[in-house]
Amino acid sequence: MKIAVIGAGIIGVTTAYELSRDGHEVMVLERRGAVAEEASFATGGIIAPDMPSRETRHFFNRPKPIRLRWPIAAHELAWFWKWQRARRFERQPGHRQQLQRLASYSLERLQQLTAELKLDYERAEGLLLLLRTEQDSKGLQASLQQLRAAGREFNELSALDARKKEPALSPDTPLFGAIELPGAEVANCRQFALLLKNECLRRGVEFAFNTEVTQLNNASGVTLRVVGDAKAYPFDAAVICAGADSARLLAPLGVKLRLASVQGYSISAQIREPLNAPRSGVVDQRHQVAITRLGNRVRVSGLSELGGVASHKRADALQTLYRALHDWFPGAAKLSSGVQEWQGARPMLADGLPVIGASGLPGLWLNLGHGNSGWAHSCGSARLMADLIAGQAPEMDLPGLGIERPSR
Ligand SMILES: Cc1cc2nc3c(=O)[nH]c(=O)nc-3n(C[C@H](O)[C@H](O)[C@H](O)COP(=O)(O)OP(=O)(O)OC[C@H]3O[C@@H](n4cnc5c(N)ncnc54)[C@H](O)[C@@H]3O)c2cc1C
């Protein structure tokens, strides 16, 4: 089939690769000048099959998982309300299992592709969730119990053992203990996307950059219209991987998606002294900030905000990241110059799960809304998407990710 993939973030690139591998003729249309220029640009890089989440009722006075910023639109408030209600789904074992299965499958697929294609990108193994106090540890217990029941692997470490795993952790910052996720890794999402794009090109995938799709039509096959071109481009099918903007493209066709752009930030800086830097990755559970090592750089990422002015990097948000770096790895990075400060928007549905599957309209497929874990879930989502398009049973059964689910 001749298939269009709309969007060349990590989801679009992995999808294009899997489709070309199945023998389809693939064209990727991307409004930016290169792959991974939006949400996939400077992510924390965390790929964790089992990420326990804290039970918020123990944390009344802690930062909220998503903060509202002014100005906020009515549709964002409506999304926030639905998201708060849907958080009870998040805590249900079924919901968590879906995410964990997708994450495990994705990690497996990522590792297969990396080995098979000999992809060389910045990565390191292991992840520690840092617990500042006993209360932080208590807040995670319900989630850890679910992981235990599902037979997932994790280790509860004392502060001493955590410091052995990450010897550069500052002795001046109180640490109660840590959860070690042995299967997890940190890796450079954008670098992977660039490498996989080259593999796509080798397979004959065409990339049309600086090409913004403005209109979709599925009357006979799928036709696309793009900015500055009167022509309509015909395809047998199209996969929408346009991240946060997917809802806008689909709305005129009657496909309704409650998709929010949840803003986050990262800073990346050259390592000044490797002995003071993380070996792999840590997450400060209380502040929900990740500090990861990507080659000779350290990246600090986090914060989740809805509303506000999209392209305005808030100084106090960035300060939170600098403070976390200073708390845990003081002196690790060169901060005097050359620091990359970045703001990105996570495309997120209210129930926190992505939509992978048919749109309900012939020829139109959806792979979008990966929220906090688009990098971690990309390779599995792409393989799943390609299997669904081919009409073959996916390697891993992952029901409940379709557009028809009521919780989204
Ligand atoms: C601060 C931060 C930290 C994060 N850390 C992690 C992490 O540690 N681990 C993890 O797994 N995930 C992480 N994420 C989440 C992850 O970045 C996203 O889930 C993922 O990048 C989403 O990928 P995507 O391809 O769907 O979206 P995008 O990367 O945004 O790609 C969508 C693409 O579609 C293009 N597009 C949109 N509309 C059109 C159109 N009409 N025509 C043509 N092109 C179009 C856009 O230009 C864009 O390139 C983080 C996110 C943020 C913000």
Q: What pLDDT is stored for residue 219 in this prediction?
A: 85
**Cβ-count burial of 11 within 10 angstroms (0-12 exposed, 13-18 middle, 19+ buried)?**
buried
- Output the six-digit token pair for 51: 């990420």
Residues in CB range of 52: below 8 A, 6 or more apart: 129, 140, 143, 144, 146, 147, 154, 179
Ligand 1 pocket, residue 46 CB under 6 Å: yes
Residue 333 DSSP class:
B
Going by C-alpha positions, the residue among 296, 307, 335 that lies closest to residue 319 is: 335
The Å distance, Cα 160 to ligand 1 centre, comes to 37
Quick check: 349 pLDDT over 50? yes
Neighbours of 121 (CB within 10 A): 18
Residues in CB range of 218: below 8 A, 6 or more apart: 253, 361, 362, 363, 364
Return the ligand 1 atom nearest residue 301 CA.
1
150 torsion bin: left (phi>0), alpha (psi -120 to 50), beta (else):
alpha
The Å distance, Cα 267 to ligand 1 centre, comes to 17
Max intra-chain CA distance, the chain: 65
Report the Cα 253 to chain-centroid distance in Å: 27
Strands 222-226 and 185-187: unpaired
Residues of the chain with pLDDT > 70: what percent?
95
pLDDT digits (tens, 9 = 90+) for 63-100: 458 999 999 999 999 999 999 888 765 556 677 778 88
The Å distance, Cα 359 to ligand 1 centre, comes to 20
The top-scoring range by mean pLDDT among 11-15, 63-67, 137-141, 403-407 is 11-15
What is the mean predicted confidence (pLDDT) over 1-20? 98
- Output the six-digit token pair for 259: 């998709």
Q: What pLDDT is stored for residue 88 in this prediction?
A: 66
Lowest mean pLDDT among 131-140, 193-202, 263-272: 131-140
Instruction: Give the C-alpha separation, 276 to 252, whole Å.
Output: 53
Q: 267 with 342: CB under 8 angstroms?
A: yes
Q: What pLDDT is stored for residue 58 in this prediction?
A: 36
Helix axes 93-116, 74-90, angle to 10 degrees: 90
Residues of the chain with pLDDT > 90: what percent?
80
Instruction: Give the C-alpha separation, 117 to 351, whole Å.
Output: 34
Of all protein residues, whose CA lies closest to atom 38 belonging to ligand 1? 242
The Å distance, Cα 59 to ligand 1 centre, comes to 29
The band of 309, judged by pLDDT with boundaries at 50, 70 and 90, is confident
Average pLDDT of the chain to the nearest whole number? 92
What is the mean predicted confidence (pLDDT) over 37-42? 98
Q: What pLDDT is stored for residue 99 in this prediction?
A: 86
Q: Break the chain down into helix, strand, coil percent, rounded to 5.
A: 35, 25, 40
Tell me which of 22 and 397 has the higher pLDDT: 22
- Output the six-digit token pair for 240: 């929408």
Peptide bond between residue 174 and the one before it cis (omega within 30 degrees of 0): no
Tell me which of 190 and 404 has the higher pLDDT: 190
Q: What pLDDT is stored for residue 150 in this prediction?
A: 81
CATH annotation of 2-390: 3.50.50.60
Q: Which amino acid is at 133?
A: T
What is the mean predicted confidence (pLDDT) over 270-289? 95
Question: Which residue reads 């089939």 in tokens?
Answer: 1
What is the mean predicted confidence (pLDDT) over 45-62? 64
Quick check: 61 pLDDT over 70? no
Q: What pLDDT is stored for residue 299 in this prediction?
A: 98
pLDDT digits (tens, 9 = 90+) for 218-228: 888 899 999 99
pLDDT digits (tens, 9 = 90+) for 93-132: 677 778 888 999 999 999 999 999 999 999 999 999 999 9
The band of 398, judged by pLDDT with boundaries at 50, 70 and 90, is confident
Residue 209, beta-bridge partner list: none
Domain residue spans of the chain: 2-390
What is the mean predicted confidence (pLDDT) over 1-9? 98
What is the mean predicted confidence (pLDDT) over 395-399? 83
Q: 76 with 345: CB under 8 angstroms?
A: no
Residues in CB range of 87: below 8 A, 6 or more apart: none
Ligand 1 pocket, residue 301 CB under 6 Å: yes
Instruction: Give the C-alpha separation, 196 to 21, whole Å.
Output: 12
Question: What 3-state DSSP class applies to 348?
Answer: strand
Residues in CB range of 12: below 8 A, 6 or more apart: 5, 6, 28, 30, 35, 239, 241, 242, 367
Q: How long a stretch of residues is the chain?
A: 408
The Å distance, Cα 221 to ligand 1 centre, comes to 27
Tell me which of 38 and 55 has the higher pLDDT: 38
Residues in CB range of 355: below 8 A, 6 or more apart: 257, 349, 366, 367, 368, 369, 401, 402, 403, 408
The band of 341, judged by pLDDT with boundaries at 50, 70 and 90, is very high
Q: What pLDDT is stored for residue 97 in this prediction?
A: 79
Pocket perturbation via mutation, ligand 1, pick of 31, 102, 289, 314 by most ligand atoms within 8 A of CB:
31
Q: What pLDDT is stored for residue 112 in this prediction?
A: 98
Q: What pLDDT is stored for residue 142 in this prediction?
A: 87
Instruction: Give the C-alpha separation, 345 to 356, whole Å.
Output: 19
Q: What pLDDT is stored for residue 303 in this prediction?
A: 94
